[in-house]
Chain A
Amino acid sequence: MTGQAESQAWSSHEGAAALAAPVLAEKRRAFDWRVLLGFFLPILIALLWEAAVTFGVAQGRLVPPPSRILATLAALSETGELWTHVWATLWRILAGFAIGAAAGIVLGALSGANETIRRLLDPTLQALRAIPSIAWVPLFILWLGIFEASKVALIAVGVFFPVYLGIAGAILSVDRKLVEVGHVFRLSRTKLARRILLPAVLPEALIALRSGLGLGFMFVVAAEFMGASEGLGYLLVDGQQMGKPDQILAAIIAFALLGKIADSILVYSTKPLVRWQDTVRERL
């Protein structure tokens, strides 16, 4: 935000007030090279560790050097094994996220929009929320078996709560003054929902979906720990049992990349919807 204010001040200093808008737009679009600064530290540490192992300062048995991790990743990817695991994990997250988010959106919207429903629903859901989700695992396994269904259910539970809370909270905090503008122009209930409530809750709803997706990634690991024959979580367990720290780290890196990519896709695909917002969101 300061950056924007600065550039605004600059352009008016230059006396190019009329040109300010296009100049600003260009600056926003231009790539900010300072982003690369973020890569500096991890790369430096990686290189130092690599050097330490190469020159025999460290053994690198429990903490393998980057080159070995990359080689493991490459090998896994060459045999196609990596992609099987990535795909298995991704599929579980997407299925769980879809179910959890859909339920969270529907119940959150109902509970936010209607006082009676909120009084009926909210206490129960809040009580359920207090249960650590992992505690459901034994029950889900008994009910749904040890295969996909119980895993997807666990992820869905993890995704549900932040989405439910976010949506209900967003609806409850819609500015009464804007709703009144809708009344002044005599909008019907459905039009009020579409033209005022929906756009007003959208930014918070997207943040809720984002944290839901983040929790989905947390819970997929838990789900895959409870006995899976494929998936990145399985790679982790397998690496531990076989004493292959390079495989564990390779799986962790794959997780990080996958999570970041999924989050970025969510953020960028929804960006046009909330472009009107002040720029704070971009820094979240």
Chain B
Amino acid sequence: MLSLEHLSKTYADGTRALSDINLMVHEAEIVGLIGGSGCGKTTLLRLIAGLDRASAGAIRLDGETIDGPNPAVGIVFQEPRLLPWLSVFDNIAFGLDNVSSAERKARVGHALEKIGLAEHAKRWPRDLSGGQQQRVAIARAFVTNPKVLLLDEPFSALDAFTRASLHEHLLGLWEETRPTVVLVTHDVQEAVTLADRAIVMQPKPGRIFDELGLGLARPRDKAGLPFETSVRRVLTALDQSLNTPQKQPQRERDRQAAALWW
């Protein structure tokens, strides 16, 4: 279980990116973090990944405090961040340093199958499309079998078709080892497609506004009524999160702004 306790982060320039975040994520749960720009979603993932230090509070994974990069925590960034001098195969194998070469081959081969890029193993990243690169990045994080996988808007740069197929690939990989997943997204549809629970965040300072259990069975029927209802619930919560701190007259304008944003 991943638990965040009274987590705060104030940057050196005084920006209060996160303030008193409390969150429990169960094993094998997929949590969708959603909220407007600048409400600290990336900051939160960077803290969990150990790439930044919290100003206050603690992060624990099964009781063990996390204060630096940890083998049990994997992260996929918004950009693929593949190493251009390594082949697709070697990129996926990047974190498998202390594994026998036979096992490395087997694991990477299997991941390549799963993401549908088996015949591209020997190519350079520059020869892949954006969606294919992002799939490689996801596979690179999965092959080390992390207990917790952090995804920071991994699909935001892709078109709707590619995104839908990547959701399938992601769930396919997730089914195998069932890690805990924290997924940051701007897209309500995406959150409802993938997550068991949606966390709505608010900016200035970044904090949790609301949590919604989605309780949908998998595989999810995106055309079904329960799906639609969930999307609407999350949208309503988001709307409220954008409106609450402001005074009444601003309400309508904000609603319009929110509608444009999504």
A189 is an interface residue with CB less than 8 A from chain B? no
B: contact size bracket: 20 to 34
Q: Which residues of A contact B69 (CB under 8 A)?
A: 183-186
Given contacts A185-B94, A276-B126, A277-B84, contact A180 B71 (CB under 8 A): no
Which residues between 173 and 216 of chain A lie within 8 Å of chain B, taking CB atoms?
A: 177-178, 180-181, 183-186, 191, 195-196, 199-200, 202
Q: Number of contacts between A and B (CB, 8 Å)?
A: 44
B94: which A residues are within 8 A, CB to CB? 181, 185, 195
From residue A166, how far is it (CB to closest CB) to chain B in Å? Answer: 18
Taking a contact as CB atoms under 8 Å apart, the answer to whether B85 and A199 are in contact is yes
In the complex formed, the residue of A with least CB distance to B122 is A21
A200-B81 Cα distance, complex, nearest whole Å: 13
Say whether B95 contacts A178, CB under 8 Å: no
In the complex, whether B77 has a CB less than 8 A from a CB of chain A is yes
Give the chain B neighbours of A78 by CB distance below 8 A: none
Among A178, A181, A274, A277, chain B packs the most CB atoms within 10 A around the CB of A181
Q: Which residues of B contact A186 (CB under 8 A)?
A: 69-71
Residue from the list B77, B83, B95, B123 in contact with A196, Cβ < 8 A: B83
Q: Does A278 contact B (CB under 8 A)?
A: yes
Docked Cα-Cα span, A185 to B72, in Å, equals: 10
**Contacting residues, chain B, for A21 (C-beta < 8 A):** 123
Q: Is the interface of A mostly helix, strand, loop or mixed?
A: helix
B74 is an interface residue with CB less than 8 A from chain A: yes
| Residues in A neighbouring B86, C-beta threshold 8 A | 276
Nearest CB in chain A: distance from B118 CB, A? 14
Q: Does B49 contact A (CB under 8 A)?
A: yes
**Partner of A276 from B51, B79, B124, B144 at Cβ < 8 Å:** B124
Bound Cα distance A194, B172 (Å): 34
Question: Is residue B75 contacting chain A, with contact meaning CB distance below 8 A?
Answer: yes
- Cβ of A184 and Cβ of B84 under 8 Å apart? no
Q: Is the CB–CB distance between B75 and A178 below 8 Å? A: no
- Contacting pair A276 B85 (CB below 8 A): yes
CB within 8 Å of A: which B214-249 residues: none
Q: Is the CB of B81 within 8 A of A177?
A: yes
CB distance from A221 to the nearest CB of B (A): 37
Question: Do A185 and B95 touch (CB < 8 A)?
Answer: yes
Which chain A residues border B95 with CB–CB below 8 Å? Answer: 184-185
A278 contacts across to B, CB distance below 8 A: 126
Interchain CB contact under 8 A, A184 and B83: no
Chain A nearest Cβ from B6, distance in angstroms: 25
Question: A residues within 8 A CB of B51?
Answer: 180, 183-184
Which B residues are in CB contact (< 8 Å) with A177?
A: 77, 79, 81
Tell me how far the C-beta of A189 lies from the nearest C-beta in chain B, rounded to whole angstroms. Answer: 14
**Which residues of the other chain, A, contact B49 by a CB distance below 8 angstroms?**
184
A185 to B71, CA, bound (A): 7
Interface residues of B in 178-193 (CB under 8 A from A): none
Interface residues of B in 117-169 (CB under 8 A from A): 123-124, 126, 144
For B137, the closest partner residue in chain A by CB is: A181
**B77, closest chain A residue (CB):** A177
| B-side contacts of A276, CB under 8 Å | 84-86, 124, 126
Q: Given A183-B69, A184-B51, are A178 and B81 neighbors across the interface (CB < 8 Å)?
A: yes
In the complex, per-residue mask of B84-98: 1 if CB is within 8 Å of any chain A CB, else 0: 111000000011010
| B contact residues vs A (CB 8 Å cutoff) | 49, 51, 69-71, 74-75, 77, 79, 81, 83-86, 94-95, 97, 123-124, 126, 144
* Contact sample, A vs B, 8 pairs, CB 8 Å cutoff: A180-B81, A181-B81, A183-B51, A184-B95, A185-B95, A185-B144, A199-B85, A277-B126
**Interface positions of A (Cβ within 8 A of B):** 21, 177-178, 180-181, 183-186, 191, 195-196, 199-200, 202, 274, 276-278
Closest 7 CB pairs of A and B: A199-B85, A276-B85, A185-B95, A186-B69, A276-B124, A181-B81, A177-B81
Other contacts beyond A186-B70, A276-B84, A276-B85: 20, CB < 8 A: A21-B123, A177-B79, A178-B81, A178-B83, A180-B81, A181-B83, A181-B94, A183-B51, A183-B69, A184-B74, A185-B95, A185-B97, A186-B71, A191-B97, A199-B85, A202-B85, A276-B86, A276-B126, A277-B126, A278-B126
